[in-house]
Amino acid sequence: MVKAIGNRLELEVKFDVPTGWGTIVADLNAKKFDMLCSGFWVHPNVGKFALFTRPVFFQPVFVVSRADDKRFSKTTNLNDKELTMVALDGDNPVNIAKADFPKAKILTLPNMTDFSQVLINVSGSKADFTIVDAVTFGVFNKNNPGKLKIVTPENPIRIYPVSYVVSAEDVVFRDAINAALDELILDGTIDRIFDKYDVYPNSYYRAVVPYRNPYF
């Protein structure tokens, strides 16, 4: 998608600089890069210090537990001091836990840790559950079938708008990206990209540009 945006804006895109979820704003302010290209769950605290583009898509996230753990079902109360959730330090699942089930313990992994490690911690019984998107779960499940389960696939615990992030100073750049995204959504380019790469159920909810066709 970022390459498609670059083509519409006639910009060369370079994927050169690594960053962590907790250091995005600092790295933008230090001008290490111009835009976070991976997509980012929109969060108000980040919005105080940086600019989000319009949502590229929406991403549901789910509670994941061990497949044989019968404690987890539609009616499970996660606000239990006997339960431990694992998440990356500074990532949104930590905020979800603090808001929705503050009694549960939180095992945090370093911010730059690969997402698969939270699932490895659950499957290895170092934690009872985690919160991840369907792609992260799907990749793990493909390589480790039958070890974990999405507790309620029909009922995500959150749905996040996913946007790109630019510096708070780059209003014109943000607006140019938004214009390119609107065009890519309306001409079907984004749908074609999703059709090619959307391989796991419940991975993404596609964004639209709101309008009304007067002839229908």
Q: What is the pLDDT of residue 50?
A: 95
Average pLDDT over residues 160-164: 95
Q: Is 203:135 a contact under the CB 8 Å cutoff?
A: yes
Confidence of residue 83 (pLDDT cuts 50, 70, 90): very high
Fold agreement between 2-58+159-206 and 60-157: yes
Q: Tell me the CATH architecture of domain 2-58+159-206.
A: 3-Layer(aba) Sandwich (3.40)
Residue 2: predicted pLDDT = 95
Per residue, the 3-state secondary structure of the chain, as one string, reads CHHHHHHHHCCCCCCCCCCCCCCHHHHHHCCCCCEEEEEEECCHHHHCCEEECCCCEEEEEEEEEECCCCCCCCCCCCCCCCCEEEEECCCHHHHHHHHHCCCCEEEEECCCCCCHHHHHHHHCCCCCEEEEEHHHHHHHHHHCCCCEEECCCCCCCEEEEEEEEEECCCHHHHHHHHHHHHHHHHCCHHHHHHHHHCCCCCCCEECCCCCCCCCC
60-157 adopts what CATH topology?
Answer: D-Maltodextrin-Binding Protein; domain 2 (3.40.190)
CA angle 31, 35, 183 (to 5 degrees): 150
Residues 65, 131: Cα–Cα separation, whole Å: 9
Give the residue extent of every domain in the chain: 2-58+159-206, 60-157
Model confidence pLDDT, tens digit, residues 115-124: 899 999 999 9
**Confidence at 201, pLDDT banded by 50, 70, 90:** confident
Question: Bigger pLDDT: 111 or 121?
Answer: 121
Look at the alpha carbons of 151, 152, 158, 160 in this order and tell me if their dihedral is positive or negative.
positive
Which is higher by pLDDT, 129 or 209?
129
Per the model's pLDDT, the better-predicted residue between 35 and 212 turns out to be 35
For the chain, the average pLDDT equals 92
Classify burial at 16, counting beta carbons within 10 Å of its beta carbon; exposed 0-12, middle 13-18, buried 19 or more.
exposed
Tens of pLDDT, residues 47-74: 899 999 999 999 999 999 999 999 998 7
The tens digit of pLDDT for each residue in 180-189 reads 999 999 999 9
Alpha-carbon distance 43 to 122, whole Å? 26
